[in-house]
Amino acid sequence: MTCSDRLVLRRPDDWHVHLRDGPMLEAVLFATARVFARAVVMPNLRPPITTVEAAQRYRQRIKNALTDGLVFTPLMTAYLTDDLDPEELERGFAEGVFAAAKLYPANATTNSAAGVSDLALIAPLLERMEAIDMPLLIHGEVTDPDVDVFDREAVFIERHLIPLRQRHPGLRIVLEHITTEQAVDYVASGDQRLAATITPHHLHLNRNAMFVGGLKSDFYCLPVVKRECHRRALVKAATSGLPCFFLGTDSAPHPRAGKESACGCAGIFNAMHAMESYAAVFDQEGALDRLEAFASEFGPRFYGLPLNTDTIALVRQPQTVPNQLTLPQGLVGELDSGEAPVFFHAGESLAWSVDLAAGD
């Protein structure tokens, strides 16, 4: 095996993940925690995480679900609502419970009904976050029914994000799971307080994926995947070496029954092969030497957290991703097979494999 077949990386973190709760949490946590040292955990549970106590309890449930001595730190987020008290937010941040707060425009995506109905209503929250330097994580899509679904991110930037950053120039912002050339250009032209996460699926898929050969709900997520020119822009951004673009999988498991229903759920569960998936893209671009910074350095630097000191290895060892999810401790926790989450790259071949034992 040559050097180019084995890549040792500082252990990565996932700056955007949905770990869910209950049996689903128990089924999917391993996929994230085996590779990633830390992850920013989204708060869109039912009910959403809107208090310090709820975040502490959720964090404890995540820790309790860790198996086999896995070492993993969940970084908790607060779910912003129209009437959340700035004191609660500040207390959670000061106590090290909330790493950030998540802005879901009301009804933009899964479990976002309790999200923010009008940005003007949360001005006091944003002012407080700006004052205490608490990161704001944004699901950047308008919910205006007159705006085409494929344009919702670009319109959000024009209508809401540009004015918001003018009103709060000191606010540290992550535009999550970006999907368009417009988002890439906007973030790249920003200052050090603006960054974006990029998912594996938005790097691999264009919007044809949802329709070619039949309707493929497996590839439906929000923001929805866009035209090929946007996918190319994302690949260029992720592999650019610019510190404003870093890893966030947006891994979002849903049971098959939820994906394949009259009103299918948005979300792609990619945690199982996330690093292999990113490696495929960086390899194709001849940019494997930039994967470590994207996966393991730019995120912690933006959040002001220390870099991990342990390592993982990626080896050029092809693997066929199984169709059925199996985990070392059994099938999928307490879920029966109908509830098992649909996962990204199932049935495909991937050129790289994570080799945890070979990290050091």
Query: What does the alpha-carbon distance between residue 143 and residue 319 come to, in Å, rounded to a whole number?
Result: 40
Q: Which among Zn ion, ligand DOR, none contacts residue 267 (Cβ within 5 to 8 A by kind)? A: ligand DOR
Give the CB-nearest residue to Zn ion: 250
- CB nearer to ligand DOR: pick between 139 and 204: 139
Q: How far is the CB of 267 from Zn ion (least distance, A)?
A: 8
250 makes contact with Zn ion (CB under 5 A): yes
CA angle 242, 135, 222 (to 5 degrees): 75
Residues that bind ligand DOR (CB under 6 A): 18, 44, 109-110, 139, 221-222, 252, 266-267
Catalytic choice (14, 118, 250, 360): 250
Does 153 bind Zn ion (CB under 5 A)? Our answer is no
Q: Name the segment binding Zn ion (CB under 5 A); options: 158-166, 247-255, 275-283, 287-295.
A: 247-255
**Residues near 324 by beta carbon (within 8 Å), at least 6 away in sequence:** 337, 340
Q: How far is the CB of 320 from ligand DOR (least distance, A)?
A: 26
Nearest distance from residue 97's CB to ligand DOR, in Å?
A: 21
Query: Three-class SS of residue 143?
Result: coil
Phi, psi of 55 (to 5 degrees): -70, -40
Edge-to-edge strand list for the sheet holding 6-10: 6-10, 311-315, 353-355
**Stretch of 5-13, 146-154, 248-256, 272-280 lying at the interface with Zn ion (CB under 5 A):** 248-256
Q: Which stretch binds Zn ion (CB under 5 A): 67-75, 96-104, 145-153, 250-258?
A: 250-258
144 given a catalytic annotation: no
Q: Which does 292 bind (CB under 5 to 8 A by kind): ligand DOR, Zn ion, none?
A: none
Count the Cβ atoms, other than its own, within 10 Å of residue 327.
17
Residue 266, SS3 per DSSP: coil
- Supply the DSSP string of 28-47, one letter for each residue: HHHHHHTT-SEEEE----SS
Q: Which residues are catalytic?
A: 250
